[in-house]
Amino acid sequence: MMTHFESTEWLDLARGAVSPEATTKMQEHLETGCDKCAEMAAEMNKLAAMSKREPLYAPPQGTVRAAKALMSAQRLAASPRAERHILQVLFDSATQPLLAGVRGAMAGRQLLYQKDNCCIDIRLEAKAGKRVEMVGQVLDSGAIGRGLDQIPVSLQKDEKIFAHTLTNHFGEFRLVLEDTDNVLMIVDVTVDRRLVVPLPS
């Protein structure tokens, strides 16, 4: 009666984790023409090859950043409510008179918000399909020693967070949204300090 080998044994063979004697015995078994074991050995060889390549795989940076942002948003939502500060606009380019000779609407809208030693500078620019690109930067003179990296920035509408990201080491961030009506931008500069910015319509 022919003796077959288990899948774990074929996996060990593919990983090079069996003795020379066992290797010879299993190879001889394959040479008998056993289709069942040949198929099993081929599958285990593929699995072993995949496991060897896994440490070399690096997910896209955008995917990693999105995952970190989501985790940060969930962590902050689960933490005790942070002290909220609603920021008022300090500068709005839409309220400034156009320079002589400039006609039509400006390409983008620049806004500056401030709370104590923290400033938030954002630029809103209309894109195709009525979408709005928001590029911003968190500037905090009190962040020395803490840095401006990995600060969660979220967009909220009707009490629901619909977009989130993290700042880079310059405090910069980028988000794209459908519109800015009734949208709040939430910047968690620390675990107990949350800045809320009402975006202009």
SS3 breakdown of the chain: % helix, strand, coil, rounded to 5?
A: 35, 35, 35
| Beta-carbon count within 10 A of 110 CB | 15
What is the average per-residue pLDDT within 99-119? 75
Give kind and range of the element (H or E) at residue 3: none
Assign 97 a pLDDT band (cuts: 50, 70, 90): confident
- Residue with token string 């320079």: 99
How many CA atoms are closer than 13 Å to the CA of 34, on its beta-carbon side? 18
Q: What angle do CA 99, 105, 106 make, to 5 degrees?
A: 65
Highest mean pLDDT among 51-55, 93-97, 120-124: 120-124
Quote the pTM value: 0.58
Average pLDDT, the chain: 82
What is the average per-residue pLDDT within 51-71? 64
